Amino acid sequence: MPVTRSATRSLAPAGGNNKTTAAVSLPPAVGKSSKRKAAEEPAAAKKTPRAKKTKSSDESAATPLPSGAFIPPPPSPLQNESEETISIPAVLTFSFEEAKAHLIRADHRFEDIFAKLKCKPFELLEQVHPFRALAESILAQQISWLAARSIIHRFTRLYDPSLPEKVADYSASKCPTSFFPTPYQVANTDILTLKSAGLSTRKAEYVKDLAARFADERLSTIKLLAADDESLAEMLIEVRGIGRWTVDMFAIFSLRRPNILPVGDLGIQRGMLRWFLSRHSSKHTFTISPHKLSGGEPDNDKTKVESTGAMGPPPTTPAPKTTPGSQLTGDVEADNGVLSTSSELQTQVSASINSIPGLPEPFTPSIDKTLEADAMNPEPLPEGLSVANLKSRLEGKKIKGVFLTPAEMEGLTASWAPYRSLGVYYMWALSEEKKS
């Protein structure tokens, strides 16, 4: 039987808890002690290895692979030392305490917000492998978190048939996130085999394109970490099925970039409306009818309620939305990530509140006390925005399918820079009001 060992290493110091490993089959090694023992045996015993080899062959023949079984491609020769196997270390590139202080200076209400809810992407740090995060993001596009979890498990099981047939068969002590195929293996898997795991043809093509780029090192952990925010977007949007929204989610939840503003996320826009409207007008109603939350007809698909764990843990409370993990990049976005019509944009953004992993739970209604607290030195609203039109936007009167334009979002959060990502995280928690 082949010996397996992890092919994933990290930039972090030794001892880190790396959950993103890939099993790599290695040929059985002949140690020095074995050679010495063979040399010391009597000449008559030298035929023993041949007898053992025959026995081993008989054992293998007794347990043949099922007819038509998929045999995962072997790892690349240089895979064990390849950049494609390096994880993103569980560290921040900035001071979290300094970022908190900056946001509190910009708006003192953030002090209470930080006390009420942890900023998970920047406080609960784990090593992340970029290929796995992006691949799972593609696999989870436009489906419920339960369906995504099942497909990701079936996809993974293509490369390790020893895994339980059903994801529900995992015990609490055996987490399904311990193994993931390598980019080289996925890149060398044919489309039909990938589709057998439940992938659509497009998703199979997308994940193969992503894998090929990591396998030949057009993409690597080193390159992604070294790129600035815009270069990162340019690099990833070249991948089929990845658009700007998925790039922003990856930058926040996997790379932990501090100054990301996902201007195309409808959930963030709604949260910002509540946040800034309450700063300038404490007396108003936040109630939004369900059909206005989704930007159209009520969503009757009860399965589309939670998020997947492509870039983080799924939210514990379902919400009628698509979250930062709701990668609408594949089945909705064009290959280059550009949406051609406002209705497509609305569909994507609307979905963005449902499938993102690691999104915060909605605040309870008691958050109104925090929102309505008198702000110190409140900044004026950006030109073109008023309390009246913020209210009308919150009630569902969008502009070209969105609640806030990119320029308006930039203007409203100008004082949050260079730590917009932290503020953005809490806007998701404000996008829906949790029922008491």
Rounded to 10°, the helix 229-237/244-253 angle is 130
Higher pLDDT, 42 or 252: 252
The residue count of the chain comes to 436
Round to whole Å and give the CA distance between 372 and 225: 39
Known active-site residue 209:
no
The alpha carbons of the chain give a radius of gyration, in whole angstroms, of: 25
Whether the full predicted model's pTM is greater than 0.75, yes or no, is no
For residue range 270-311, what is the model confidence (pLDDT) as tens digits? Answer: 999 999 999 887 665 444 433 333 333 333 333 332 333 345
Residue pLDDT, tens place only, 338-369: 333 333 333 443 344 444 557 888 888 888 88
Q: What are φ and ψ of residue 226, in 5° steps? A: -80, -20
- Residue-range domain boundaries for the chain: 94-436
Classify residue 3 by burial, with Cβ atoms within 10 Å: 0-12, 13-18, 19+.
exposed
Report whether pLDDT(314) > 80: no
Q: What sign results for the dihedral spanned by CA atoms 312, 317, 323, 329?
A: positive
Q: Is the pLDDT of residue 329 over 80?
A: no
- Residue pointed to by tokens 């089959």: 25
Task: Tell me the average pLDDT across 384-397.
Answer: 91
Range 35-44 average pLDDT: 44
One-letter amino acid for residue 426 of the chain: Y
Q: Please give the CATH number for the structural domain made up of 94-436.
A: 1.10.340.30
- Residue 11 predicted with pLDDT over 80: no
Percent of the chain with pLDDT over 70: 59
3-class secondary-structure state, position 46: helix
Using omega within 30 degrees of 0 as the cis cutoff, is the peptide bond preceding 360 cis? no
Catalytic position from the list 265, 331, 335, 368: 265
Predicted confidence (pLDDT) per residue in 218-251, tens digit: 999 999 999 999 999 999 999 999 999 999 999 9
The 10s digit of each residue's pLDDT in 147-173 is 999 999 999 999 999 888 887 765 444
Confidence of residue 73 (pLDDT cuts 50, 70, 90): low
Report percent pLDDT > 90 for the chain: 47
Matching residue, tokens 């063979």: 38
* Preceding peptide of 2 cis, ω within 30°: no
Tokens of 54: 């025959």
